[in-house]
Amino acid sequence: MRKLNFRTMKVKRIIAYTLSVLVLLFCLVAILGIWDIIDIEYLISRMFKSLMVILAAAAVIVLIFSILDRPDRPERSERREEMEG
């Protein structure tokens, strides 16, 4: 159980760092576009769509790992023992 919790925290940390880097990269591109250093006519919409897809995927991954790492409730254990016994 402890090992799964450690892996879950590691995955959450990796996802958090990855999303942080992506947000910083998108902000940098947006700032360069504001100063007309790069042309961002279609780039911004693509970046935001990509970021939404990545955020949705990360949310699903964190949800899956939180479900896998959820501690077993005592009433569930009692019901399971009653059904088996």
Note the pLDDT of residue 5.
73
Query: Could you tell me if 47 and 29 are in contact, meaning their C-beta atoms sit under 8 angstroms apart?
Result: yes
In a domain, 80, yes or no: no
**pLDDT band for position 82 (50/70/90)?**
low
Mean pLDDT of the chain: 78
pTM of the model: 0.55
Structural domain count of the chain: 1
Q: Which residues contact 63 (CB under 8 A, 6 or more apart)?
A: none
Q: What residue numbers bound the domain in which 40 lies?
A: 2-70
Note the pLDDT of residue 45.
79
**Helices (H) and strands (E) in the chain — how many of each?**
3, 0
In a domain, 18, yes or no: yes
In a domain, 47, yes or no: yes
Using one digit for the tens of pLDDT, what is the confidence trace for 6-47? 777 788 888 888 888 888 888 888 888 888 888 877 877 787
Note the pLDDT of residue 84.
66
